[in-house]
Amino acid sequence: MGNCFVIMGFGEKTDFQSNPQRVLNLNRTYEDIIKPVVEEAGQTCVRADEIIHSTVIDKPMYDNLLSADLVIADLSTANVNAVYELGIRHALRPQRTIVLAENNFSFPFDLNHLSILKYEHLGKEIGFKEVMRVRRELTKKITTLMDSPEPDSPVFLFIPSLQPASLPKAQAIVAAGPPAPSSAPTDQKSFAELLASFRAEKDGVKAPEDWAIPLALLKRLKTMQPDDPYILQQLALATYKFQQPDKKTSLINAKNILNALAPQASSDAETVGLWGAIHKRLWEEIANPEDLDEAVRAHARLIEVGRDGNAVKWMEDTQRPVEEAGRPVDALTGSKHDSKSRRQ
């Protein structure tokens, strides 16, 4: 379980950039959007006013800006403290910083190039539909950033030779609560509850970006049962279906996840089928002959056990371009039979 530090104002703050000026209840953004999404992603969530400290707030704030696994900054009402703290985070860490702002926020020039998630605040409240929309968008951003090696800090983007700051034994200060147990932290929901939530979310997937929430739930399930074959299979599936940060990287990540199940020697049809599907898509994406080899071998094994009728058609469709390239399909599968015998 990671930790998220939230940079923002709290309580009711005047938005001096609005015309006419408005008062925004920023606690609604934190309590209705940010905190539920972060905790649903399996991370602890703390804002500056929740930090336990015996000194001035500055030290634990800087500790968190450096050591937090994720930082979310809401710049609404042009809060100068939040903008300053965001700059510190960008100078300290190359990745895992998300920026939000209310629609009326006027971006300074140096912030114009940042990817900023904008939302509509009604003043006292945020509308239900807007809350749900922003939750979905924030979930996608967290899921994507936590696995991405790419810098989101402009400092590290434009000065790639810069090394991230670090301190020995730096520890983030967590929110008020009971002392932490000596054992590894557990999820707030049971395995069965998370599994039911995953299946419900998976049933509602209609587009690649919809896989963000199922993927986040699977990662929490994996922390509970890291070697469960079903969880690893579904995690590989969701990873390549999500297509983030791009299609090629998502496929490679999915392949690495599935490697834990020894797919090249496995007799499990689901594992072998996923292995073949991943390499088939990698072949279509980057045209690496090794991926084609793996895809054909996996599909051939499925045909042998009678578990994939589509595999026959795919191999026949693949035979022509492969043979035109001078690489007979039978040579790839290791079979001594011709295609006619294989179909029989």
The partner residues of 116 in beta bridges, in order of sequence, read 99
Distance from chain centroid for Cα 197: 17
The pTM score is: 0.62
Residue 229: is it exposed, middle or buried by C-beta count within 10 angstroms (0-12/13-18/19+)?
Answer: middle
Taken in order 311, 314, 319, 325, is the CA torsion positive or negative? Answer: negative
pLDDT at res. 295: 87
Tally DSSP H helices, then E strands, for the chain.
15, 7
Which of 117, 87, 122 minimizes the C-alpha distance to 7?
Answer: 87
pLDDT at res. 260: 92
Please give the Cα distance from 8 to 101 (Å, whole number).
10
pLDDT at res. 111: 74
Q: Give the chain's mean pLDDT.
A: 81
Give the contacts of 277 (CB within 8 A, at least 6 positions apart).
295
Low-confidence ranges of the chain (pLDDT < 50): 170-174, 176-185, 309, 311-312, 320-325, 328-344
pLDDT at res. 333: 44
Which tens digit of pLDDT belongs to each residue from 196-232?
Answer: 888 888 998 899 988 998 998 898 888 888 888 899 9
Which tens digit of pLDDT belongs to each residue from 125-164?
Answer: 999 999 999 999 999 999 888 878 889 999 998 898 888 8
